[in-house]
Structure 1
Amino acid sequence: MSNPRIAILGFAIESNRFAPVSTRADFVSRAYLAGDALLSDARAPAPAMTPEIPAFVRRMDAGGQWQPVPILFANAESGGPVDHAFFMETLVVLERELRAALPLDAVYICEHGAAITTEEDDPDGLVFGMVRSVVGSSVPIVATVDLHANVSDRMVDAVDALISYRRNPHTDMAERGTDAADVLIELMQGARFCVAHLRMPVCAPPTQLLTAPGTGPYADMIEQAEALADPRIVNISVVGGFAFGDTPKNGMTVIVTTRGDADFARQTAHDLVMPAWTGRAAFTPELTSLDEAVALAKAAGEDRELPPVLLADVADNPGGGGRGNTPFLLQALLRGGVRDAVLGVVTDPELSAQAHALGVGAEFTAHFNRGESTVYSEAFIAPATVLRLHAGQGVGRRGQLAGCSFNLGPSALLQVGGVKVVVITNRHQCHEPAFFEMFGIEIAQARTVAVKSRGHFRAAFDEFFAPAQIFSIDAPGLTSPVLSRFDFQRLPRPVVPLDAMTDWTPHIRLLRKHGTPQ
């Protein structure tokens, strides 16, 4: 097909049922890009949006003449359920602009896939279904989602191919955007696909969904899928899911897309899930207690013959809806007299503003979480000194944020006891060394580094810390891997690891998809 018209759109957020509501402001502060602004950002040297759309555009640009039709891309840091009125307003805009763009030859949808609203458990399905209803049955639609998506039948039914990330930490987002372009091109040439889709009764905490070889049954599934070098395979997506969404569509999901071979798709899906089901005990996390974490940090600070340690505050991960401001790990380090430690990033706009008003060198009483009423975000005070100030803007250099711009808002480096604490304004998980380095901190010289992040830091801090030096800490928070601490209401039960299960028979849905040559 020559010069195809391809629409680009998406509504991307990972929603934690137990976190405060996400609003329009949360999207506008990260990425709410419509029309030409969407395309301009996708082609910028350091985009603000996630890497999938820029990679999709690059691949299509390299393939020859095409007409990109940018609709709207809305993206926010993981948070609580989206304000339903705002979502519905956005859905209206998406539909209006999509209809105005007709006729179209194809559509690319870039979503996270684990959104919920204050009234709707499957807004991603509503977006996918709306797109299909607008463009009709013959126009190819391909969607990319995070491997933490909660995939509904409605999502799979509405698109011709659904492609998820394969890496956790998510270092392959650009590759999946490229895949989406290639699959759309194949569909526009008239390809016929068969999709096998099944959901497992597994809602693993995110700490158990790493994909480095040898890290567990989920990693094994990804490795097994990638080893299947068969020309019949278009894509295999092994979607781990996001337990904190607490929806009826929760559950680890496998989607095998083949070039028309239904039996092969079905058998491949079955063969992928059974070893993981057998090894399901590994979906229960093993964590390091606060007392153990303090002992590790104190020893590292006192004995330089020991390797330094990285403490991950996985229960307060803004990348999973945490507020980035729980005090428990910092308080434990202070009580234990830990030295030569750095901790970040703590989201506290009021404290950052106070530090900026006082200036570098000021000694003051720092009020953490002043006026904060969110669960787990307990207020406390401590003597502090302002060491450095920063506007909070930069470009990531490693891991998931490499080459992407970020904006933490006015930020400050405080000395609190033996701990240097990075305080920011705009909530963000700490998965980028630049968040420390912009204050002149040499990470390699720190004896203890503590990050408010669940796992994405691993792809960026690996130049400083080997896996054996990294410890996931068991502290209170909205993203605690101990799922029994949450009052789940909508999860399908029984489900691993919350329930003891011995038997399960896979139910595999088969769907046929086809493109229509233009």
Structure 2
Amino acid sequence: MRIGIIGLVHETNTFAPGRTELCHFQDEWIVGNAPFIKRYEHTRTFMGGVLSAAAKLDVEIAVGLYAAATPSGMVTRDSMDSIIEHLVDSIPDPIDGLVVMLHGAIVSENFDDVEGQLLRRIREKAGSNLPVAITLDLHANISPQMVQLADILVGQDTYPHVDSYERAIEAIYLLYRCMHSEIRPTRSYRHARILVAPQAMVTDKGFMKEIIEAAFEIEKDVRVLNVTVAGGFPFSDVVDAGMSFVVTTENDLSLAESYAEQLCQLVWDRRGEFEVTGFTAEESVALGVQSAVAPVILIEGSDNVGGGSPGDATFLLKHLVDAPAKSLIVIHDKEAVTEACRLGVGALFQGLIGGKTDTFHGPPVWISGEVRVLFDGKYRHIGPYMTGHSADMGPSAVIETDTVTVVLTGKRVGPWDVGHITSVGLQPNDFKLIVVKSAVAWQTAFGPLAKAIIQVDTPGCCGFNLHELPYEHIQRPIYPLDDFE
């Protein structure tokens, strides 16, 4: 048996500034068995899970193209056309099954449903009889086309995402059974008509935990092959954005439909539990300073790099500069990094940083401090999220002022691993306040260290107040944008 492997991962924020080009995928553009194995073997990623499962099943792998880019704005038409052509052309032949690693929320100038379009092209080349399994992020905006064209859909069960490895193994095992005609996957898809902010999707507590546990209960039915709960990605303004469910059974459509409807009813009846609230930037800094414990995590989810934000919002930085507490913040500012490198370690840095991508995330802020560290920005994840995965912040600099330490990065990288700051010689416990530009994924890096957390409510293209975003294409009515009472 021979399994083909391809993948395309990008989380597209249609409200984010700028456009995503082909060059943004080049840092993770992997073709062929040897490069794929070298980069992902023994990592706790979807890719590492695929390799592990294939080895356990003793099946041959044939890797085509796997491409990924950091979440960002809309992908350009020409770039997406080129990527899809490369992906489809790279599908190995012959193969007995194909696994396609996807995110589920890619949007381009020419396709609202990129994953659906890619699967359609795959079917045109490989035919309707080839068993195809796809893996998905928990924030996937699943479309009817995706459900129709893939035999098996397996989404993450955790947020922060710490089960990618296990879900890939599950997908490969189901694909293997499908290849041997042991199962006949039958799927039912339901959209909940609810937009959920990422901050409300934490799966180890609250309502989202109950939803995932309800899905696990359904999976105990021996007739059920998989239940995928997709919280959706509310920052993609597309028709299918929002929470949805896919129940896959062994050739029992009515059972799949019944379970999918059951999950939809559960979330609809309690949709108010997805509400998120927070404090202004000024209030958040004041509360952090007053806290009797440290470190205090200030969650700036509106500038969530993992959701496509620019990573250079300055609403909190503005107040940290004069705050009577030692604080830490990471700001994406390639221009400021270049200046710090020109000055050199030990020199005085004076200038405006952040707020340079657009006007939605605050104006640049003046800082004056010493250049303490210059760094190439490369490290490996040592925490539970994508353990072993390579990260690259680009050329980076640490600027230390009297009150705030700023890590300036040349590339946008979210705080998904503690290496985000330890790689430049900083330790979390040395700071009273730590700003994380993340909604939830920061917990894999700083969760065990946090003594207190403060949810910050500031403007941004990843803000949890969804009423502030200029939706144009999403299917209406939908909660909470519309009044269903």
> Above 0.5 in TM-score?
yes
Give the aligned residue type for 2:197.
P
Tell me the equivalent position of 2:8.
11
Q: Give 1:200 shift.
A: 1.1
Tell me the equivalent position of 1:220.
210
Q: Give 1:333 shift.
A: 1.8
> Separation in 2 of the partners of 1:492 and 1:373?
28
Tell me the equivalent position of 2:321.
334
> Separation in 2 of the partners of 1:297 and 1:43?
39
Match of 1:395 among 356, 376, 380: 380
For 1:151, what is the secondary structure of its paired residue?
coil
Tell me the equivalent position of 2:70.
77
| Alignment of structure 1 residues 470-485 onto 2, 5 Å | 470-485=453-468
Kindly report the root-mean-square deviation, in angstroms, between the aligned alpha carbons of the 2 structures: 1.8
Please list the CA deviations of residues 130-177 of structure 1 after superposition, one character each: whole Å capped at 9, or x if unmatched: 112221122100000101111111111001011111100000111111
Confirm or deny: 8 A CA contact 1:283 1:496 kept in the other structure: no
Please list the CA deviations of residues 424-463 of structure 1 after superposition, one character each: whole Å capped at 9, or x if unmatched: 1111112221111122222123211111111101122122
Moved more, 488-497 or 32-41: 32-41
Tell me the equivalent position of 1:56.
50
Tell me the equivalent position of 1:112.
103
Matched, 1:319 2:294: no
Confirm or deny: 8 A CA contact 1:59 1:178 kept in the other structure: yes
TM-score, length-scaled by structure 1: 0.89
Matched, 1:196 2:188: yes
Match of 2:265 among 274, 285, 300: 274
Match of 1:285 among 271, 276, 283: 276
Give the aligned residue type for 2:23.
A
Give the aligned residue type for 1:315.
S
Alpha-carbon spacing, 1:348–1:96, altered in 2? closer, same or farther (3 Å): same
Matched residue pairs, number?
482
| Alignment of structure 1 residues 66-215 onto 2, 5 Å | 66-98=59-91, 101-190=92-181, 191-213=183-205, 215=206
Instruction: Work out the percentage of aligned pairs sharing the same amino acid.
Output: 27
Please list the CA deviations of residues 299-330 of structure 1 after superposition, one character each: whole Å capped at 9, or x if unmatched: 13xxxx43531001100011111000011111
For 2:321, what is the secondary structure of its paired residue?
helix
For 1:143, what is the secondary structure of its paired residue?
strand
| Alignment of structure 1 residues 364-513 onto 2, 5 Å | 364-369=349-354, 372-373=357-358, 375-376=360-361, 378-465=363-450, 469-502=452-485
Q: Give 1:219 shift.
A: 2.5
Q: Give 1:237 shift.
A: 0.2
Alpha-carbon spacing, 1:371–1:299, altered in 2? closer, same or farther (3 Å): closer
Q: Give 1:267 shift.
A: 1.9
> Separation in 2 of the partners of 1:95 and 1:306?
53
Unaligned stretches of 5+ residues in structure 1? 503-518
> Separation in 2 of the partners of 1:306 and 1:53?
39
Alpha-carbon spacing, 1:202–1:371, altered in 2? closer, same or farther (3 Å): closer
> Separation in 1 of the partners of 2:133 and 2:184?
13
Give the aligned residue type for 2:457.
D
TM-score, length-scaled by structure 2: 0.95
Unaligned stretches of 5+ residues in structure 2? none
Confirm or deny: 8 A CA contact 1:294 1:338 kept in the other structure: no
Confirm or deny: 8 A CA contact 1:13 1:75 kept in the other structure: yes
For 2:477, what is the secondary structure of its paired residue?
coil
> Separation in 1 of the partners of 2:38 and 2:476?
42
> Separation in 2 of the partners of 1:43 and 1:384?
39
Q: Give 1:372 shift.
A: 4.2
> Separation in 1 of the partners of 2:382 and 2:446?
11
Q: Give 1:377 shift.
A: 5.3
Match of 1:35 among 18, 32, 35: 32
Please list the CA deviations of residues 352-393 of structure 1 after superposition, one character each: whole Å capped at 9, or x if unmatched: 122122122211213214864464252232212112222211
For 2:81, what is the secondary structure of its paired residue?
helix
